[in-house]
Structure 1
Amino acid sequence: MKNRFIEIRKKSEDLCRPLLIEDYSLQPSEFVSPPKWHLAHTNWFWEEFILKKYLKGYTVYNPDFSYLFNSYYNTIGERVLRPDRGSMTRPSVEEVYKYRKHVNSAMGTLLSIKFDEKLLELVEIGINHEQQHQELFIYDIKYILGNQPTFPVYGNSYGFIEQNLESEFIKIPEGIYTVGHQAEGFSFDNELGAHKVYLNDFEICNQLVTNAEFIAFIENGGYTNFNFWHDEGWHWINNNKIETPLYWHKIDGEWFKYDLDGLQKVNLSAPVNHISFYEAYAFAEYKAMRLPTEFEWEIASDHFSWGQLWEWTNSAYLPYPNFNKAPGAIGEYNGKFMINTMVLRGASVATPINHSRKTYRNFFHPNMRWQYCGIRLVKKQNAFSINNL
């Protein structure tokens, strides 16, 4: 466990190596967290949830940091509001790294001592929590750099593989299936409560929607035809002047997109990504198809390759039967967000390997698209198309 802790902590800092010092505190949008905040918040998590409770004689590095780097835990106390994370020039980046060294040293001492099962569970949560922030860091630094006029290169592009399979639909028979986490190993509480669901037969595509397919949607008026959109989505694209996926630019008649290796021509065979739920739904309507439910996705996932992108489902993020929030601050980790968000399944190229499991329930508001997300289609039963497809 100690070696794993060290490895995960090093990974967070390795992700920051390509950055300039000026990059660490930028927050170009409310939903983006600055790199410095990620480094400090993941550190605060170890200090607040583990060291203060389990390491006798532990000295808090700076009492103000509990206020500065708490994310959303009301149980812990007051915190800086999310939109203000980028306004904090103090503590300095150098001070945040000193803070991390302080916590690493204390955790090294703690993990050298025999500890009980409850502590082991918290350490596992802490490791998974930091890994989640490593993926969020990739989303955030891409948004930070991708909204600069010169489209700076970060380094690792976290690029996407061309889909060379012939598109076909996989038939899944109707029946009663068991969903939810049942295997050995770590899972989050929102995956628990394995239970049975009834599914009608359905046909799901073996690959994700490609950039070429989405360009056809754009060029055939997909963003200007209200018939394809939820009313809320229609207002969203018009109020925000949304006309393309995030990071796309049309230059001299050709489509380009920003990735972490800079501005590149759109690869027509790669899966379209940085798509909101609203856009995913509209594209499915345009194709006279639909998005899978999260349970359909889970049952069908053994029959196709996944892991390039989180995939939108048509399922609201709700608790499983017998779901119970844990007492205290840990209970705020997932349960309080089970409203007004949609489930995504799978994983992305930025997802840590051990987070790639078919029962993992990711969730975002339907307008969010800075995360690595794409579209997989399911055939509608007796669908009527208004397009010549």
Structure 2
Amino acid sequence: MTSPIVTSQLQAKLSLLEKYQSVRQLSEWICQPLAVEDYVIQSMPDVSPPKWHLAHTSWFFETFLLVPNLPGYEVFHPKFGYLFNSYYEAVGQRHPRPQRGLLSRPTVEEIYRYRAYVDEGMRSLLSQSLDPSVESLVVLGLHHEQQHQELLLTDIKHILALNPLRPAYRADLPLSNTNAVPTKEQWLDYPGGLYSIGYDQNEFAFDNESPLHKVYLHDYYLASTLVTNSDYLEFIEAGGYQKSEYWLSEGWATLQKEQWQAPLYWEHIDGNWWIMTLAGLRPLVEDEPVCHVSLFEADAYARWAGKRLPTEAEWEVAATPVAIAGNLLESGRLHPAPAVGATRPDQLFGDVWEWTQSAYLPYPGFQPAAGAVGEYNGKFMCNQMVLRGGSCVTPPNHIRPTYRNFFPPSTRWQFSGIRLAK
């Protein structure tokens, strides 16, 4: 399948309308391999049906851009605001999140017509001279849709993994090179001192990445590579899931409740480990980064290994001078790949989101954006942990060294992995 992904270099040269069109086309391209039945499934409350993602991202542009800024615009359907609002209290009531999979209507066909209708309105809006504040909101909407492109792929994987047939989303995805020479882990030394972290440039960033502020770090080491499946197998075989001394209290309680024995999507079949991928069930490749682990599992592994997880400040200081390149959505793999040893540290961007030991909290002086879009990040700064670096399903022009992803510590369906520190 030919991908419509636009490289970061080309994306920077496009007009705002061209950027809008390229992002919108990519969402629909991601959904091309789906059967119509796949669009409706909600496999757990954290997962949204693919058709909901397509409609919600359109609702965002309709609600925050077209209704207030395009004279004469009429909403596509008066009930869609209720069905496809996610969590914006200021905008009004919404359909309960755990019940999104109960909506057989609107149909997939109608949602695609909704997208086309919104796109027509946005073409009209973007052909006009716009106030800079409106342009900024369009850019926010595009990055919002890129977040949902990543969620589309993580949710599709969960939906298909729960099917006993273990169907492939795309059977043509490349396999890892099992003959590759493993990259040897090294410990990279970072001197302590006063550092600045956070975003202070003129390009787009989310409000939770600002303001720029000072942090003091002690001397630390960061592993040059990610923890691999082979590394994690040693933890499993050493009884890591049976020994409470490695686990945070809440993590141990979650392990016992959920009966975790291995990362999500791992299956032990006839004495061998297999893993569910977007290409279907495949044998586990030991040199690939371990993926789909919770913060609890990442922390337990680090304790077992006699190390720890990095703080988000330590991660950002290490990542700031590194070029944004790697196994991101642009590569077309849609699965973590073995390290190639091209950089030090390796795989900081792409492959897996890297858990940090940092709670998701506001930076000193943080101010959420004005209006309803101010609910985008700030209201979730409780009971969440920070992940950094993007994954194999992150759009390449969406990630930055300052990007702060966040999820509850029990989350496993994201492409989340481990890099150690000491």
TM-score (structure 2 length as normaliser): 0.88
2:345 is aligned to 304
1:115 counterpart (130, 141, 150): 130
After superposition, the Cα gap between the structure-2 partners of 1:334 and 1:163, relative to the gap in structure 1 and judged at 3 Å, is farther
Amino acid of the residue matched to residue 288 of structure 2? A
Amino acid of the residue matched to residue 341 of structure 1? Q
Measured against aligned partners, the alpha-carbon deviations of 1:295-338 in whole angstroms (never above 9, x if no partner) come to 00111124513221110000000001111112221110000000
1:20 is aligned to 35
Correspondences of 1:142-161 after superposition (within 5 Å): 142-155=157-170, 157=173
Q: Is residue 227 of structure 2 the alignment partner of residue 209 of structure 1?
A: yes
Amino acid of the residue matched to residue 217 of structure 1? F
Q: For 2:75 and 2:113, how far apart are their aligned partners in 1?
A: 13
Q: Is the 8 A contact 1:280 1:374 kept in 2?
A: yes
Q: Is residue 277 of structure 2 the alignment partner of residue 259 of structure 1?
A: yes
Correspondences of 1:197-346 after superposition (within 5 Å): 197-301=215-319, 302=322, 303-305=344-346, 306=348, 307-346=350-389
TM-score (structure 1 length as normaliser): 0.95
Q: For 1:32 and 1:39, how far apart are their aligned partners in 2?
A: 14
User: Offset at 1:182?
Assistant: 2.5
Secondary structure of the structure 1 residue equivalent to 2:93 = coil
Q: For 2:400 and 2:409, how far apart are their aligned partners in 1?
A: 22
User: Offset at 1:268?
Assistant: 0.4
Q: Is the 8 A contact 1:157 1:259 kept in 2?
A: no
Deviates more, 1:55-64 or 1:175-184: 175-184
User: Offset at 1:160?
Assistant: 6.8
Size of the aligned set, in residue pairs, is 379
Q: For 1:326 and 1:16, how far apart are their aligned partners in 2?
A: 31
Amino acid of the residue matched to residue 264 of structure 1? R
Amino acid of the residue matched to residue 59 of structure 1? E
2:111 is aligned to 96
Q: Is residue 359 of structure 2 the alignment partner of residue 351 of structure 1?
A: no
Which blocks of at least 5 consecutive residues in structure 1 are unaligned?
380-389
After superposition, the Cα gap between the structure-2 partners of 1:100 and 1:158, relative to the gap in structure 1 and judged at 3 Å, is farther
Q: For 1:276 and 1:210, how far apart are their aligned partners in 2?
A: 15
Deviates more, 1:149-158 or 1:199-208: 149-158
1:48 is aligned to 63
Q: Is the 8 A contact 1:46 1:103 kept in 2?
A: yes
Q: Is the 8 A contact 1:163 1:271 kept in 2?
A: no
Measured against aligned partners, the alpha-carbon deviations of 1:54-105 in whole angstroms (never above 9, x if no partner) come to 0000011101000000000000000011100000011111110111111010
Correspondences of 1:31-110 after superposition (within 5 Å): 31-110=46-125
Q: Is the 8 A contact 1:289 1:378 kept in 2?
A: yes
Amino acid of the residue matched to residue 323 of structure 1? F
Superposed CA RMSD: 1.3
User: Offset at 1:158?
Assistant: 8.4
Q: For 2:176 and 2:192, how far apart are their aligned partners in 1?
A: 33
Q: For 2:74 and 2:288, how far apart are their aligned partners in 1?
A: 50
Q: Is residue 198 of structure 2 the alignment partner of residue 183 of structure 1?
A: no
After superposition, the Cα gap between the structure-2 partners of 1:163 and 1:154, relative to the gap in structure 1 and judged at 3 Å, is farther
Q: For 2:174 and 2:46, how far apart are their aligned partners in 1?
A: 21
Q: Is the 8 A contact 1:346 1:356 kept in 2?
A: yes
Amino acid of the residue matched to residue 221 of structure 1? G
User: Offset at 1:164?
Assistant: 2.9
Secondary structure of the structure 2 residue equivalent to 1:290 = coil
Q: Is the 8 A contact 1:190 1:361 kept in 2?
A: yes
Q: For 2:58 and 2:128, how far apart are their aligned partners in 1?
A: 20
After superposition, the Cα gap between the structure-2 partners of 1:51 and 1:159, relative to the gap in structure 1 and judged at 3 Å, is farther
1:386 is aligned to none
After superposition, the Cα gap between the structure-2 partners of 1:86 and 1:333, relative to the gap in structure 1 and judged at 3 Å, is same
2:415 counterpart (333, 355, 372): 372
Q: Is the 8 A contact 1:311 1:345 kept in 2?
A: yes
Q: For 1:103 and 1:159, how far apart are their aligned partners in 2?
A: 38
Q: For 1:355 and 1:201, how far apart are their aligned partners in 2?
A: 31
Q: Is the 8 A contact 1:310 1:345 kept in 2?
A: yes
Amino acid of the residue matched to residue 254 of structure 1? N
Q: Is the 8 A contact 2:295 2:409 kept in 1?
A: yes
User: Offset at 1:124?
Assistant: 0.3
